[in-house]
Amino acid sequence: MASKSGQSIIKAQYHFRPKGQLKCEVHKQNDVIFLCQDCKMLICSKCSITLHKHHIDSFLEISDIKTRHNQILQDFVNETENVNIPKLNQEIISSRTKKSSCKPMYDKLRKNIIDNTTKCKLELDKITEDYIALCDKMEVAAMDLIQTHITDLESRLKTLRDLSSEYKQTLQTGTSVLVYDSVTEIREMDPDIPPTPNIDMAQFTPGMDRLSHLKQAIGNLKLPTDHLQVGSATSGHSDQRPVVRPNQSTDAGQASTGEVRYKLRDRPTVMSHFSYPDTISSICPTSDGRAWLCDCTNKVNLIDNQGQVIQTIRHNSKIEDISLDPTTGRLWFCCYRDKTICKVSTPSTPVIRFTTEDEPFSLCVTREGRVVVGTWDDRQGHKVGVYTVDGQVLHTAIVEGAVPSISRCGVTGNIAVVVGYKRIIVYNSTLQLLVNYRREGIQARGEGIQVRGSVTPDEFGPCTVVYDSKGNIVIVDRTRNTIELISGAGKYIKTLHTNKGRQGVVGIQKGDVLWSHLVLDTGEPGLKLLKYYSD
């Protein structure tokens, strides 16, 4: 009779007397006549006065127990023939029936997987065709835009040449009235050469987590991992063989197959560093290696990567936060006291685009032409709102605390906000909650992860949040003066940098160059440009 592990279910006895043998195993010339209940052995008369003499009180004559044991045997035979054997026969029939249905069932399963994969391929081909058609249209539009710009420049050039020739003649022979009229004409001219139109508006960002998204598109293959086992039946008759388990997703930096998506440097490389004396409340790096800096006054500065001020834009109200339109490169900002959202429509002229019902505290302009704003109201508290560029409210979410920083992911379109200087909340584009990250009780472990012990909620004080090109989130923790990196799904990846002095706000430049405002090793306030991914 087999056990669950395929071995006999009959327990080994203490003695070695063969089954049914009448002679004593020790005194082979004597028949067994007693049962020593203490030892559970059949013994002879000589055993009773020698080896087992101390167990005499437990002796029973075999003939006295035969009737009782006969009943036990009869009960076993009855239960075996009437219950256990029919039950096993039925189980065998049922298992064979189930086995015969196995192949058709898995044939159907395979067909469903293949059919849905084919549909996904067709839809991907259609998306690709649509994207290519859009690229074709954008190319024509961009070339037309540049040609119009060239035609305008050539017209300006011809006008300037004609005017230069005319004014030379006026200087030589012109009357006072003609000279006056010419100067008036000069003063009314627009001396600025219009900038080259930005045609770098269309961008394609490859999906970084393609495998998991493709699996989601095809569908889930659910496996009963609690009992499905290789090479054994699934009815619970074996529990000592390897279990078939689905692939598990890995830590950040790897796809679900374990394939490395990106590689972090052991420590960030300093590309540049320089002192900068002014306060900085937000940083918006540009695509050409410069950055706009806000200091919560009525001005913003544009600096190069050595800290030299290139341009200053002034406004008639205090500027609370800034953001760059990722499509046009234009600067936007919000004014808390005036409840205004402004755009710098020309190189130096701010224009109010719309006003908000509550006081705006932070903002982020998205590639889709939306403005995400963090606001405060005495009655309703703090909110995050998604607006059109003309001020129409599309979505709102109430949050428990101030919103000093907002960032939009270029990979997923999700929106990350700092709430109350205590947590990071990630929403989708319609402000549906996806992630609530507080860094509670985290003890980071794993290859390449660096952190000093566990982090309690009181020790986590985020003030700035920005997405990088991989869809990961860079966080400034002002409590511990660190820069943290977490995944877009809210999973801790690494502490990128721990500063000896105060750590200020950060911004991300194209190519994942991190502009970090901090106290330099010299003790002066300044900026460092850091690269934390390996090329």
Please check whether residue 444 lies inside any domain of the structure.
yes
pLDDT tops 50 at residue 254? no
Sign for the CA dihedral angle at 470, 473, 478, 479 comes to: negative
What is the residue-averaged pLDDT of the chain?
83
Question: Domains in the chain: how many in total?
Answer: 1
Rounded CA separation 462/441 (Å): 15
Higher pLDDT, 142 or 392: 392
Q: Does residue 414 form part of some domain?
A: yes
Q: Is residue 69 part of a domain?
A: no
When pLDDT is averaged across residues 177-183 and rounded to a whole number, the result is: 86
Q: Answer yes or no: is 108 within a domain.
A: no
- What's the pLDDT tens digit per position in 360-407? 999 999 988 899 999 998 787 899 999 999 999 999 999 999 999 999
Range of the domain at 416: 265-533
The CA–CA distances, whole Å, from 178 to 187, 188, 411 equal: 14, 15, 61
Q: What is the mean pLDDT of residues 416-439?
A: 92
- The letter for the amino acid at 245 is R
Q: How open is the CA angle 337-341-343, to the nearest 5 degrees?
A: 130
pTM for the complete prediction? 0.54
Alpha carbon separation from 105 to 110, 236, 245 (Å, rounded): 9, 21, 20
471 is a domain residue: yes
pLDDT of residue 481: 93
Mean predicted confidence (pLDDT) in 252-275: 71
- Is 70 exceeded by the pLDDT of residue 136? yes
CA 501, distance to chain mean position in Å, is: 30
**CATH code assigned at 512:** 2.120.10.30
Q: Residue 71: what pLDDT?
A: 87
Q: Which is more confident, 380 or 475? A: 475
Q: Residue 122 belongs to what H/E stretch?
A: helix 85-173
Minimal CA–CA distance to 467: which of 527, 497, 427? Answer: 427
Q: Give the CA dihedral 392, 393, 395, 396, nearest 10 degrees.
A: 160
**CB 415, CB 406: distance < 8 Å:** yes
List, for residues 62-116, the tens digit of each pLDDT value: 888 888 888 888 989 999 999 999 999 999 998 999 899 889 988 998 998 899 8
DSSP string, 302-328: EE-TTS-EEEEEE-SS---EEEE-TTT
Q: Is the pLDDT of residue 229 over 70?
A: no
Quickly state the pLDDT bin for 143 (edges 50, 70, 90). confident
In a domain, 421, yes or no: yes
Q: Which of the four pLDDT bands, split at 50, 70 and 90, describes residue 224?
A: low
Of the candidates 466, 463, 494, the residue with the CA atom closest to the CA atom of residue 479 = 463
- pLDDT at residue 225, as a whole number: 46
Domain assignment of residue 314, yes or no: yes
pLDDT for 331 equals 95
The pLDDT value given to residue 456 = 57
- How many CB atoms lie under 10 A from the CB of residue 481? 18
What confidence category does residue 424 fall into, taking pLDDT thresholds of 50, 70 and 90?
very high
pLDDT band of residue 321 (cuts 50, 70, 90) is very high
| Buried-exposed string 71-87: b where 16+ CB fall within 10 A, e elsewhere | eeeeeeeeeeeeeeeee
pLDDT at residue number 15: 47
CB 358 within 8 A of CB 341: no
Is position 166 within any domain? no
**Given this model, what pLDDT does residue 7 score?**
38
What is the model's pLDDT at position 395? Answer: 93
284 — pLDDT class (breaks 50, 70, 90): very high
Q: What is the mean pLDDT of residues 345-357?
A: 88
Residue 330's alpha-carbon distances to 83, 136, 187, 389, 433, in angstroms, are 84, 25, 28, 13, 29
Q: Which value, in Å, is the radius of gyration of the alpha carbons in the chain?
A: 40
